[in-house]
Amino acid sequence: MNTGLKDRIILVTGASGGIGAATVRMLVKEEAKVIASGRNEDKLAKLAMDTGCDVLPFDLESELSVKDALSGIEVFGIVNCGGWGGEIASPMETDLEVFDKVTSVNARGTLLVTKYASQGMIKAGLGGSIVNVSSQASLVGLAGHISYASSKGAVDAMTRVSALELGKYNIRVNAVNPTVVMTPMSEWYWGREDVGGPLLEAMPLTRWATEEDCAAPIVFLLSDASAMISGVCLPIDGGFTAV
């Protein structure tokens, strides 16, 4: 299948993380011209060395940083993968400073990148595709995830509104909603039998997602193969939300 991504410029935020880096690698294989952004500049430098992608660090919490980095850049695609997990806490116990930071990075950061990168897309007049990385947590109630789920629920809403607003420019906007990817960062919580066990038992495919499981649908939604898909929030959850 020809994805049509060859030589197209794609910006990937959160590229120093697992899903972001896996997406960069898949896009490079499709011969896209990838611009990678993320918090960890050492990991970005290694990713650039391994893949040949370009690197563009900026701060998702700073409008000035995002504006300065993206003003004047004309991209075909955006992957809003930058995010922060925050804490595990109930609504009664949640730290509002953590809530504000999670919202600032996950929701506000997604909006900032969309705001400034889409201006260049519109100017170029070539259409394009934006993929927001949301979460299963925005689709179902997960204990302890009040801040994270709220931020990703906002991302889902932004996806639908942005699809409506940008459609007239032939720019599609979709989201992917992955289940748990069992990284060292998530293993401390989801690796507990009393926490992760019930989720796996309720999941028809009964396994955790890999970074590549998440990256492949992102690349599909960026590609010409999904030319008539916009405004969708696609679960990548082994069937969990279907039952």
Q: Is 171 exposed, middle or buried (0-12, 13-18, 19+ CB in 10 A)?
A: buried
Q: Which residues 6+ apart lie within 8 Å of 7 measured at CB?
A: 31, 32, 33
Longest dimension (CA), the chain: 51
* CA 48/CA 94 separation, integer angstroms: 38
Is-contact 64 53, C-beta < 8 A?
Answer: no
Question: Which residue out of 46, 152, 168, 169 is catalytically annotated?
Answer: 152
Task: Name residue 178's beta-bridge partners.
Answer: 236
Measuring CA to CA, which residue among 156, 145, 147 is closest to residue 199? Answer: 145
Respond yes or no: is residue 152 known to be catalytic. yes
Catalytically annotated residue among 46, 123, 148, 189: 148
- Name which of 103, 63, 66, 105 is nearest 83 in CA terms: 105
* Long-range contacts at 50-53 (CB < 8 A, ≥ 24 apart): 50/25, 51/24, 51/25, 52/28, 53/15, 53/24, 53/28
* Beta bridge partner(s), residue 9: 33
Residue 224: CB atoms within 10 A of its CB come to 13
The catalytic site residues sit at 148, 152
